[in-house]
Structure 1
Amino acid sequence: MNTYVERPAAGLDCVWQRSSSTPTVGRVVPDGCTDLIWSSTGTLFVAGPDTVGHVTTVGPGEIFGVRFGPGVGPSVLGVPAHALRDLRVPLAELWGRSAALEDALAGADDPCEVLASVAQDRLRAAPPDPVATVIARSVHMSSVTALAEDLGLSTRQLHRRSLDAFGYGPKVLHRVLRFDRAMKLAWTGAPFADIAHRTGYADQAHLSREVKDLAGVPLGQLIRP
């Protein structure tokens, strides 16, 4: 039996838990987020922001994670997002070996609470770049030049701040966030043409091309149970 559950956590996109009784193959697609993940085998690592989809194989056991919304991860992890783009990195490479954290996770009834508490403490000590919030909220509404002017930045400064916060420049960030909105609608069963209209694609064909480029498979295959 395989299960996946998400639940809210203050300051974070969510915490999540995946349980599997057999090896499971899945596809991870770009969403602009970064995850801190611990597995019941004792592996503790970071999944950086992705630019393309990739296939993963999960063995039997449990995996626990906290997901940081776009622009939040760097404050927790202490490195710019572009340093983790398309990578899976042991947390020890970023923070050094933390036996206390690993022991707490191994002994916890709910490892998600342990991960969330550590992340929330680090966010209180180093809040995310406030400009990142504005970029994520506005990138789909403005041209890069207009957004930079609104923020009082040069386009080069905007690109650098975006790379540090999200792992992407503004144009790629727009593509990824629009794709993520489309995926959320697709999972509700909304018609593909309606999804394209509601998320700002020129038409259904445009949506299909973007899904294939970013996820690596057609939309219908991507959301197949």
Structure 2
Amino acid sequence: MKYYTIAPPEILKPFVRFFWVLEHELSAREPEYVYRSIADSCTEMVFHYRAGFDEITEQGEQNSDPSGIQFQTDTYRRFITRESFGIFGAYIYPFAVPRLFNIPSSQTTNLALDYDTFLGCAGRELEERIILAQDNQERAGILSDFLLMRLRHNVKTDDRIITSIRQVIHSKQHQTVAQLADTFNLSVRQFDRRFKEYAGFSPKIYLRLVRLQNAIQQYNNHKTLTQIALECGYYDQSHFIHDVKVFTGYHPSFYFSGRAEGTEYRNANG
């Protein structure tokens, strides 16, 4: 399995965290691959340029190639393919959604839409160009140009809230909602409402999602689950277990074992 990231151009860095690539060759010993996407505090644009995936639901396999946009979500999904595959994606800050797509993030939470449904002709053309590109550097260039054209510079934004979301995502400090609101001179009620508009979730839920991502970054760091939980700001082991189970579908002991679906890419070399 091969996984690596590509940095966006400087002008897009306030909106796009990175582009990413996941490729894998199946074999007779591995006739199928199941991928699990977990809860995430950011939005992803995903393009399947080699082979497609079917989603696995409670009703069984569904014939639906998941190329499209998955907005910030507090749930997990499962997909399966029986072919060698290549996927190109963009990892986008939630507060970039209004600037790029002219819709509040609060209206997109947990939505997963194909490009035709979400963007119409422009989406279909973008998907075709990405799929037919010669390599992933070209794909990064095509998507960068597309996102730059969609940036709306006249959209009014609340820079305090955007700064607070960045702080939650990138800071390792474990602050409460009240502390964050106080930092930006807002009441808890005001902060909660404005934060949800830009992040898609209330700050309380968003803090939980980011805490999970921070815990996942401790994967393979030779730390115990208790150490991971404490370092990532969980009050106790039970809260840690609960959030991992809700957001990934697995008990932490299995999710961090290296055997869970959707974790193989962390061991892949770029």
Structure 2 length-normalised TM? 0.71
- Which residue in 2 is equivalent to 1:177? 210
2:71 aligned to 41, 48, 52, which one? 48
Q: Distance in 2 between matches of 1:187 and 1:69?
A: 26
Q: 1:5 to 1:134 in 2, by over 3 A?
A: same
Structure 2, unmatched stretches of 5+, are: 27-31, 53-64, 260-270
**Once the 2 structures are TM-superposed, how far is the Cα of residue 93 of structure 1 from its aligned partner?**
3.1
Are 2:77 and 1:68 aligned? no
Q: Distance in 2 between matches of 1:103 and 1:31?
A: 26
3-state SS in 2 of match to 1:186: coil
Q: 1:126 to 1:34 in 2, by over 3 A?
A: farther
Q: Distance in 1 between matches of 2:131 and 2:21?
A: 15
CA distances 1:119-165 after superposition (whole Å, capped 9, x unpaired): 24434746875222224415964433343343233433322322222
- Which residue in 1 is equivalent to 2:43? 34
**Once the 2 structures are TM-superposed, how far is the Cα of residue 211 of structure 1 from its aligned partner?**
1.0
Are 2:19 and 1:15 aligned? yes
**Once the 2 structures are TM-superposed, how far is the Cα of residue 59 of structure 1 from its aligned partner?**
5.1
3-state SS in 2 of match to 1:73: helix
Q: How is 1:1-225 mapped onto 2 (pairs within 5 angstroms)?
A: 2-10=1-9, 11=13, 12-22=16-26, 23-40=32-49, 44-58=67-81, 60=83, 61-98=85-122, 99-109=124-134, 110=136, 111-123=139-151, 125=153, 129-130=158-159, 131-138=161-168, 141-223=174-256, 224-225=258-259
**Once the 2 structures are TM-superposed, how far is the Cα of residue 33 of structure 1 from its aligned partner?**
0.9
**Once the 2 structures are TM-superposed, how far is the Cα of residue 24 of structure 1 from its aligned partner?**
1.6
RMSD: 2.8
- Structure 1 segments (4+ residues) deviating >6 Å: none
3-state SS in 1 of match to 2:219: helix
Q: 1:163 to 1:58 in 2, by over 3 A?
A: farther
Q: Distance in 1 between matches of 2:76 and 2:103?
A: 23
Matched residue count: 224
**Once the 2 structures are TM-superposed, how far is the Cα of residue 62 of structure 1 from its aligned partner?**
1.8
Q: Distance in 1 between matches of 2:235 and 2:185?
A: 30
**Once the 2 structures are TM-superposed, how far is the Cα of residue 18 of structure 1 from its aligned partner?**
2.0
Structure 1, unmatched stretches of 5+, are: none
Are the aligned partners of 2:174 and 2:233 in contact in 1 as well (CA < 8 Å)?
Answer: no
Are the aligned partners of 1:51 and 1:86 in contact in 2 as well (CA < 8 Å)?
Answer: yes
Q: 1:142 to 1:188 in 2, by over 3 A?
A: closer
**Once the 2 structures are TM-superposed, how far is the Cα of residue 185 of structure 1 from its aligned partner?**
0.8
Sequence identity, in percent?
A: 23
3-state SS in 2 of match to 1:71: helix
**Once the 2 structures are TM-superposed, how far is the Cα of residue 105 of structure 1 from its aligned partner?**
1.8
3-state SS in 1 of match to 2:19: strand
CA distances 1:20-40 after superposition (whole Å, capped 9, x unpaired): 444421221123010111222
Structure 1 length-normalised TM? 0.83
Q: Distance in 2 between matches of 1:184 and 1:37?
A: 22
3-state SS in 2 of match to 1:39: strand
**Once the 2 structures are TM-superposed, how far is the Cα of residue 182 of structure 1 from its aligned partner?**
0.6
